[in-house]
Structures are given as C-alpha cells and as structure tokens.
Structure 1
Amino acid sequence: MSRPTARVLTLLELLQSGGTRTVAELADRLGVDERTVRRYADHLLDLDVPVESVRGRYGGYRLAPGYRLPPLMLSDDEALAVLLGLVAGRRLGLATEAATAGETAAAKIRRVLPARLRARLDTVLDTLALTAPGGAEPAAPDSAVLLTLADAVRHHRPVAFRHTAAGGRATVRTLHPYGLVVHSGRWYVTGALVPGGEDRTFRLDRVAEARTLPGSFSPPAGVDPAERVLTGFATARYRYEVVLRIAGSVEEVRTRLPASVAVVTKPPAARDGEPTDPDDPAGWLHVELHVERLDWLPGVLAALDLPFAVERPAELRDLVAALAGRLHRSALRDPW
C-alpha cells in the first residue's frame, strides 16, 4: 500500500473515533501539512465517505452523525486465515516494525467484523500457542473443528470428536482440552482423555465432527500446552530409548536436540546455578530421547562439541566409535 493511501485510511480511522478533529491535530498525527490533510479529506469524499467540514475557531473535520463502515464481508475461513497470519507473524518473531503493523492491522480487521465472528476468532487467538517454526508440510485443520475446540478450551468444556489414526482406524474420543498448539506447521489439541485422565495430544487434521459437551472441568494449575506437546514428541514410544550424559548448558544442548526431540534435566548443582564441571560427570546434564533410528545421532553429538557419555543403548556407543574411527582415518589421510 502506498504511503498516501495509507494516510487516507489513517485519517478515516481517526475520524471514526468520533468528535471533531482540527486540521492542525490531523496534520500532526499524519505527519503532513494542513493542505495535504484537506486533500486527503477530499479523497474520502470521492469515496462517498461523508466527511463534514466544521468552520470556526475549533473547526476541522468530522464524520456525519450515524455513519459507520459496513461489516467486513469475510467468511469464517477467510477471517480466520487473515487474523492467524497476522498473529502468527508477531508471535514467531517478526521485526518490531512489521510486528507493530500486523498488530494494528489485526485490530482494524477485528473492529469491522460482525460481533459473532469476532468473538469466535478471539477465542481461537486467546487459546493458541505456537512453538518455533519447523520444516513439516503445513496441515490445515477444519475451521469448524478449530473454532469448536477453541471455545471448549476457553470455557473449560469437555469436547467429543472423531479421530482417525495414522493407520486409518477411526474412534470417537472425549477430551478435557487444555490448549491449542501450532508446531512445525501442524495444529494440535492437548488435554486429558475422559474417562481415565490420560494425557493425550491429537493432530487437528485428523479430527472431525467436534462438538462441545455439557458440564465443565478445571485444568491443572500452570499447565503449559506447548510444553506438553513438545514433551510428548520427545517421550513418544519408538524403537530405541537413548540415555546420555552431556557436560554443557541446557541452551547448548538445545541447539542440536530441541525440546520436541529430547528431555533434558539438570542435576541438583545445576539447578542451584552452579556451572557444569566437565571433569565431574555427576554434574553433567541428563538427556533422554526416543528414536526409531540411531544412525543420525553420532553426527549430532559430534556437532555439539561437548563432552558426553552414552548410558544406553550399547549400539549407539558402537556407532559413535565407528564415526570417530572414520574421522580419525580421514584426518590422517594423505591429501595427495
């Protein structure tokens, strides 16, 4: 959008707030001279916006009484896509100027949406958590499912839905939902199954026919839906359970083994703020992960460039030794 057009729309926003605005005030807010303000007012008149000129010492411009912009004609899917794009950009670390522009744009869109749709979209935004972006192919959920689950999260209502597992088996689940999470391009709902209270996380692109149920529940104090989803990935059942000891900080380990891959716990000394001693294995970090294959781990551990020890499985020790041997032979090889 060109700057003059943006300023004309900003002028309309200022006049929409009500009352009479002096030309001097508008010029100051828009960063232009008073003659330009008058030209912008003429542009609004050309667009059939009823801008009135008020004469006198405290004169200026105002909108005709009773004038309001008509509701923005967006479908649920369209409005959800626009607002989620703006909010996701802000939460995932856009530059400050771009994030501010996204925030004001979202506010403008919300203001002209029908009240029913605005309330439902606010529910989604208030219940949404986002993790760091990843490389997975985006999998968009059904908007009706997303809006229903968001409403259940906000109002602590049980929800029932049909879930199709990766193998194609469909089941009906009842959940006390704690939150919605977007991770690596995919949407998830996390909560406790009913009955039984088992912690579960479901991909929304595998969920259909969601509906809220009578009653309510109290979520656990301090529950963090994003952390629950990431921990679920790190502790999922795979072929190998890997246990490591690493001498370094949590931040250093996370550069190669993120929360969605590994669970990292600190020894008591590290929790008290004492630095890790590379010569004292008792102070090393405890790292656990569940993987289907081991062949990628030796390279990751080498890239960490930190002292480490493999507690289990023994196969990983063999793979690390094999990589070390290859690197040693390469270092000694004559480059011709």
Structure 2
Amino acid sequence: MTRPTSRVLALLELLQAGGTRRVADLADRLGVDERTVRRYAEHLTELGIPVRSVRGRYGGYRLGPGYRMPPLMLTDDEAVALAIGLVLGSRAGLVPESTASETALAKLRRVLPARLADKLGALLATSSFTAPPRPSTPTDTGVLLTIAEAARNRLAVELDYTDRHGRRSTRTIAPYGVVAHAGRWYVATAGRSFRLDRIAAVSMLTATTGPIPDDDPAHAVLESLATAPWTHRVSVRVSGTVDDVQRRLPLGLAVVTALGDEVRVELRAESLDWVPAVLAGLDLPFVIEAPDELRQRVADLASRLATWANR
C-alpha cells in the first residue's frame, strides 16, 4: 500500500487488533516515520474514530473500548475463507438465523474491492455441492453465545427447556462445550446433552462448575444421543474391532464397547423397522442380545434379500 489513505486504513486495522501499540512499532509496520503515524492518528480522530493517545514509556495509541469498524480489509484468501465458511455453515443448518449467511455475504461483497468482489461472485455463482443442504433448526444466537461463554468460564446456567415430548421445564446445567452435529447445536454436560434449538431462554449464574469432564464434548454428545431413552434398547455382539464397527455406523447412532475379540453395539430406537438394515450394513457376524423381536425382523429382511437376489 503506497497511498496515504491506504496507510490510514492500515493503521486502523493494526489498532483493531487490540491493546496499546507503540508509535515506533506502528511506524515500522506502516513504513513511515513516527510524525506521519501521529498525523494518521489525527486523521482517524477527525473521522470520528475514537483513537486514544497513551502517554508514558510504553505509550502509543489504542482504540476506545467497544469500538467496531464495519468495513473490512481482507486478502483474497481471507475473503474466500469467510465466504466459504458462511455458505457451508448455512448449508449445514448451523447458522442460527435463517438469513444471516445471505445478509453477511451481501455485506462482505459490498465492502470488498470491485475486482475481488467480482471474483468472489463468480465463485459463489459456479459452486456446487455433493451433499444436500440440511434444513435449519432455529437456534437463538444469544442462547448459543451465552452457553459458549459459560462453558469457557466454567459457570453454570439456568435454562428454559422443552423436551422431545413438548414438556417445558427450568433446569440448571454445567456446560463444558457446544457441539455441532447433523445440522443442530448441542450443549455437552456431564451425563447428557441438550439441543440448543429447544432452549427458549438462558441466563448465566455466578456459581462455578466443577472440574471439566475427561470426555471430549463431541464424544459426550454422540454417546448421549445413542443412549437417549427411546422405546427399544438394542444390544448386539459383533465380531470385529471398535474402529471397524464405528466406521460402518452413522455418528451418534450407537455406543460401541470392546469385548475381547468382539464388540457390543448398544443403541436406542423408537421403531425397530430400520435396525435390521443397519446390522446388515455392518457386513460382520453378529449375535442379537436384545430385544428378542429383533431376531424375527432380521430373519424377515434376510428372506426378502434372498428372494430379490434370486429373481
């Protein structure tokens, strides 16, 4: 950047990184002398940007607290990364507001240089995806951010929650991570998980939580989903390793436990109709432990497959 205006904007970008920046360091980064840095700072102040002068040995310049500057200065790589992130987040159903991705992309393209905005438009217009978009579940942005902050700061939260049966209750939980899975946001707690789109309101408490569980939040959510109290409890012993079996099962479907040369696959299901096909897809020998009625359903599927194969 050689033009003074570009350097003034570059100074603003450096100050937006936070903290107090020494005049000498700013001059070095901008390739100008210290007197010019002071002139640039005065120019920003004239534009209404709260640039504060800090005196003393470690003095320099900093931005006033809470200040945000809407226009962005992005490299090509940064702009493309933001655009792809917005598109993929929306297609995955993880953007809290349904139109947030579209409005954010529109704002991004408006503040980019014409050359880069045109190229980014070409990328968005010609991109295709092999995976279909997931329907978005409305998650409140405030709920997501409050729970994430509580998890980071090890604070309990109180939430207004509606369970899968439509029953509303007030709960106090100790979150330790938020997890994106299958188009939904979940909060991980010790023992179970909660869907964020079912939380109507949340408030952060002053009570601190205990030690962080050893279990990874993503693993905890998947295990919680696999052990949800549906009508049928399915238990099957499978000849294979934990890794082999887990690779052949959808994420969050089952809990797989090692048993010597076998593994035990445990899952919950509201209906057994789809379970035989999942077991057949493992392509590994298995023994049904429970429920008894699953044996006949597997036999019926095997009979139908044999009939179709011999047509």
TM-score range, shorter chain: 0.5 to 0.7
- Structure 1 window deviating more from structure 2 (321-330 vs 10-19): it is 10-19
CA deviation profile, 1:123-143 (whole Å, cap 9, x unmatched):
xxxxxxxxxx99753223212
Question: 2:208 is matched with which residue?
Answer: 216
Whole-angstrom distance in 1 between the partners of 2:280 and 2:306: 13
Whole-angstrom distance in 1 between the partners of 2:301 and 2:150: 51
Task: Report the 3-state secondary structure (helix = DSSP H, G, I; strand = E; otherwise coil) of the residue aligned with 1:266.
Answer: strand
- TM-score after normalising by structure 2: 0.60
| Cα 1:136/1:65, change in 2 over 3 Å | closer
Q: Does structure 1 conserve the Cα–Cα contact (< 8 Å) formed by 2:176 and 2:189? A: yes
CA deviation profile, 1:278-306 (whole Å, cap 9, x unmatched):
xxxxx111111111122212222222222
Distance apart, 1:208 and its partner CA: 2.6
Task: Report the 3-state secondary structure (helix = DSSP H, G, I; strand = E; otherwise coil) of the residue aligned with 1:152.
Answer: helix
Whole-angstrom distance in 2 between the partners of 1:306 and 1:9: 64
Whole-angstrom distance in 2 between the partners of 1:10 and 1:247: 66
Question: 1:65 is matched with which residue?
Answer: 40
| Cα 1:233/1:10, change in 2 over 3 Å | farther
Q: Alignment RMSD, CA only?
A: 3.9
Q: Which amino acid aligns with 1:160?
A: E
Task: Report the 3-state secondary structure (helix = DSSP H, G, I; strand = E; otherwise coil) of the residue aligned with 2:288.
Answer: strand
Aligned length: 224
1:319 to 297, 301, 309: 297
Q: Which amino acid aligns with 2:234?
A: V
Whole-angstrom distance in 1 between the partners of 2:235 and 2:133: 26
Whole-angstrom distance in 2 between the partners of 1:305 and 1:11: 64
Aligned residues with identical type, % of pairs: 40
Question: 1:173 is matched with which residue?
Answer: 171
Whole-angstrom distance in 2 between the partners of 1:11 and 1:307: 69
Question: 1:159 is matched with which residue?
Answer: 157
Q: Which amino acid aligns with 2:183?
A: G
Question: 1:33 is matched with which residue?
Answer: none
Question: 1:302 is matched with which residue?
Answer: 280
Aligned 1:68-87 pairs, distance under 5 A: 71-73=68-70, 86=85
- TM-score after normalising by structure 1: 0.56
Distance apart, 1:186 and its partner CA: 0.9
| Cα 1:153/1:318, change in 2 over 3 Å | same
Question: 2:270 is matched with which residue?
Answer: 292
Question: 1:189 is matched with which residue?
Answer: 187
- Moved runs in structure 1, 4+ residues, more than 4 A? 8-17, 51-54, 61-64, 67-70, 82-85, 87-90, 133-136
Whole-angstrom distance in 1 between the partners of 2:151 and 2:222: 19
2:27 to 9, 15, 19: 19
Whole-angstrom distance in 2 between the partners of 1:306 and 1:206: 38
Whole-angstrom distance in 2 between the partners of 1:85 and 1:226: 23
2:242 to 245, 250, 268: 250
Q: Does structure 2 conserve the Cα–Cα contact (< 8 Å) formed by 1:138 and 1:184? A: no
2:255 to 236, 254, 263: 263
Q: Which amino acid aligns with 2:27?
A: G
2:193 to 189, 192, 201: 201
Question: 2:139 is matched with which residue?
Answer: 141
Whole-angstrom distance in 1 between the partners of 2:7 and 2:275: 54
Question: 1:37 is matched with which residue?
Answer: none
Whole-angstrom distance in 2 between the partners of 1:87 and 1:167: 33
Whole-angstrom distance in 1 between the partners of 2:132 and 2:239: 27
Task: Report the 3-state secondary structure (helix = DSSP H, G, I; strand = E; otherwise coil) of the residue aligned with 1:19.
Answer: helix
User: Unaligned regions of 5+ residues in structure 2, if any?
Assistant: 15-25, 50-67, 72-80, 90-107, 109-130
Distance apart, 1:148 and its partner CA: 1.7
Q: Which amino acid aligns with 1:19?
A: A
Distance apart, 1:73 and its partner CA: 3.2
Whole-angstrom distance in 1 between the partners of 2:136 and 2:225: 17
Whole-angstrom distance in 1 between the partners of 2:83 and 2:145: 12
Q: Does structure 2 conserve the Cα–Cα contact (< 8 Å) formed by 1:136 and 1:186? A: no
Q: Does structure 1 conserve the Cα–Cα contact (< 8 Å) formed by 2:249 and 2:282? A: no
Q: Does structure 2 conserve the Cα–Cα contact (< 8 Å) formed by 1:16 and 1:63? A: no
User: Unaligned regions of 5+ residues in structure 1, if any?
Assistant: 1-7, 22-50, 55-60, 75-81, 91-108, 110-132, 193-198, 269-282
